[in-house]
Amino acid sequence: MRSRFSPRHLARFTAAALIGAVLSAPPSSLAAPDSERRPNIVVIVADDLGYGDLGIHGGDDVPTPNIDSLARDGVRCTDGYVSCPVCSPTRAGLLTGRYQQRFGHEFNPGPGRRQGDGDGFGLPLDQVTLANLLKQAGYRTGLVGKWHLGYAPDFRPQRRGFDEFFGFLGGAHKYFPGSDGERGPIYRGAEVVDEQEYLTDAFGREAVAFVERHAHEPFFLFLTFNAVHNPLEATDKYLDRFPSISEAKRKPYAAMLSALDDNVGRVLDTLHDKQLDEHTLVFFISDNGGPTQGNGSRNTPLRGDKGTVWEGGIRVPYLVRWKGHLPPGKVYAEPVISLDILPTAAAVAGATIPPGNNLDGVDLLPYLTGQKSGSPHERLYWRFGPQHAVRQANFKLVKTRDGEPQLFDLAKDVSEQNNLAASRQDVLQQLTAAFATWNGELAQPRWEPQGGRRAGQPGARRAGRKNAAEN
């Protein structure tokens, strides 16, 4: 007898069943078999951080000693990427370990989609999150900071695997009470709170409190600062550190980055004070490259910025620290991606990936420790509307909104200036064919992008920039 369900409905049913299995499974069935305490997981995400602004990447006007310490005490992945050049899709990919285009989460929400709209925008409910997996493995899970994965109640953090939530739901938020740039309230759980502290400091405070509350049990902290995203707002405490910077955007940006670094340091100090350094795996990334015209960030030496598939839009600071387990000060040059965070965290936590929940990320630990050689990925892919890119070894194919595909050798030309398409037609054709195959596996976008038009159509770039504060 013919099924009453379409293939699409069957796919949704299967995914829903997988989530049900995860959520109903007893923690002991997913936990690591050994009696030792499983490591804590801390994932720190900066927002719109320029690749060249950290000291470890050559930044010389804004000291970032705390963030830099993660590289000194752990591994710096020089060729670390995110799966999208804008905020919300990157977060969807990070939390699922899958290319977000597979489930239609290709763009930030379009205009008019704000908290309470109930319009369906959000990380699809049939996707298993890292928080789901770790919670069922016996971890206490907490999100502090920016969400940007759905406003309606079913899409909010505490329905997606997080036990605790302090932060905001949208894509941007003011830093001062009563200042311009409001994008919805601050929540503690489901309750609106009247937060009076500078927001970066408030997020640092709450992250420290979460670690202190759960220092004696395995925990997962997803710390998603909105710094250094617009609006450009900083306290005198941080502004006064940069008397020699006079650029209108660069000065407040520097102050905001300094605040971010201070609060990363507060969390790292708390882990140390609680003797958790060797019991905590820490990741640090940015959600995309810096929007250099928008906030004064710098992506040096990379070409492009947020919203593009040039290196400046998708290559980000990517640091991994696990004291006593990862070699300190190691520089790792193979391409890795934010999709790798979920399988890496799940592996060290002893969490089981549900059958059929096919991941695009891989467990990085064997590669970072040297147990495995070679590259974790044969290829990495990006699709953002009509833009796309493929990286294979050192070669990168780039197709922008307009023009012909271009080819670069990133080992020799990280700034993507020397187009090799004419001289290396063999590689160009190979990567073009690889993208076509991958692209055929993807879903249609579930909503229109920021600005209300498909990226690349006339006027879309202007509309996107006009609404950048919501991005």
For the question of residue 148 being annotated catalytic, the response is yes
Residue 346 and residue 198 share a domain: yes
408: which 2 tokens? Answer: 């670069």
Domain range for 68 is 37-369
**Residue bearing the bigger pLDDT, 356 or 206:** 206
pTM, entire model: 0.90
pLDDT band at 119 (very low <50, low <70, confident <90, very high): low
Which of 81-95, 391-405, 419-433, 444-458 is predicted with the least confidence, judged by mean pLDDT? 444-458
Say whether pLDDT at 106 is over 90: yes
Helix (H) / strand (E) element for 282: namely strand 280-286
What pLDDT score was predicted for residue 181? 53
Bridge partners (DSSP) of residue 286 are 46
Domain membership flag for residue 375: no
Which of 369, 393, 424 delimits the end of a domain?
369
Which residue of the set 77, 84, 105, 148 is catalytic?
148
Q: What is the mean pLDDT of the chain?
A: 89
pLDDT band at 99 (very low <50, low <70, confident <90, very high): very high
Say whether pLDDT at 353 is over 50: yes
380-384: strand order across its sheet: 380-384, 387-392, 395-399, 406-409
What pLDDT score was predicted for residue 9? 40
Q: What is the pLDDT of residues 390-405, one digit of tens each?
A: 999 999 999 998 889 9
Say whether pLDDT at 468 is over 50: no
According to DSSP, residue 66 is labeled H
Say whether pLDDT at 450 is over 90: no
**CA torsion through residues 169, 460, 303, 331, sign:** positive
Residue 424 and residue 284 share a domain: no
Residue type, 338: S
Domain membership flag for residue 58: yes
CA 140 from centre of chain: 21
What pLDDT score was predicted for residue 35? 45
DSSP letters spanning 174-224 = -SSTT-S---S-EEETTEEE---S-HHHHHHHHHHHHHHHTTTS-EEEEEE
Residue 365 and residue 384 share a domain: no
Residue 238 and residue 337 share a domain: yes
Domain membership flag for residue 295: yes
Residue 466 and residue 343 share a domain: no
Residue 401 and residue 365 share a domain: no
Closest CA to 45 of 260, 258, 259: 260
pLDDT band at 250 (very low <50, low <70, confident <90, very high): very high
Contact 79, 380 (CB under 8 A): no
Which of 326, 350, 369 delimits the end of a domain?
369
User: Distances in Å between the alpha carbon of 332 and those of 57, 318, 373, 399, 427?
Assistant: 14, 10, 11, 27, 25
Residue 311 and residue 399 share a domain: no
Which of 3-17, 56-70, 172-186, 208-222 is predicted with the least confidence, judged by mean pLDDT? 3-17
The Cα 208–Cα 197 span in angstroms is: 15
Say whether pLDDT at 442 is over 50: yes
Domain membership flag for residue 278: yes
Say whether pLDDT at 147 is over 50: yes
Say whether pLDDT at 13 is over 50: no
Bridge partners (DSSP) of residue 396 are 391, 408
Which of 349, 369, 389 delimits the end of a domain?
369
For residues 420, 288, 237, 206, the Cα torsion angle rounded to the nearest 10 degrees is -150
Residue 302 and residue 206 share a domain: yes
Domain membership flag for residue 209: yes
The Cα 171–Cα 150 span in angstroms is: 10
Say whether pLDDT at 193 is over 70: yes
Say whether pLDDT at 116 is over 50: no
What pLDDT score was predicted for residue 56? 97
Bridge partners (DSSP) of residue 144 are 166, 223
Contact 447, 464 (CB under 8 A): no
Residue 56 three-state SS? helix
Residue 41 three-state SS? strand
DSSP letters spanning 88-146 = HHHHHHHHHTS-GGGGT--S---TT--TT--SS-BS-TTSPPHHHHHHHTT-EEEEEEE
DSSP letters spanning 139-160 = -EEEEEEE--SB-SGGGSGGGT
Neighbours of 299 (CB within 10 A): 26
Residue 315 and residue 446 share a domain: no
Residue 333 and residue 426 share a domain: no
Domain membership flag for residue 17: no
Residue 209 and residue 236 share a domain: yes
Say whether pLDDT at 15 is over 70: no
For the question of residue 87 being annotated catalytic, the response is yes
According to DSSP, residue 423 is labeled T
pLDDT band at 109 (very low <50, low <70, confident <90, very high): confident
CATH number at residue 321: 3.40.720.10
75-77: strand order across its sheet: 191-193, 186-188, 164-168, 140-146, 219-224, 40-46, 280-286, 318-321, 75-77, 330-332
Of the chain, the end-to-end C-alpha distance in Å amounts to: 48
Say whether pLDDT at 5 is over 50: no
According to DSSP, residue 290 is labeled -
pLDDT band at 373 (very low <50, low <70, confident <90, very high): very high
The Cα 133–Cα 350 span in angstroms is: 10
Residue 167 three-state SS? strand
The Cα 205–Cα 207 span in angstroms is: 6
CATH number at residue 447: 3.30.1120.10
The Cα 83–Cα 382 span in angstroms is: 6
Domain membership flag for residue 100: yes
Which residue of the set 57, 77, 84, 87 is catalytic?
87
Number of domains in the chain: 2
Residue 353 and residue 386 share a domain: no
Domain membership flag for residue 72: yes
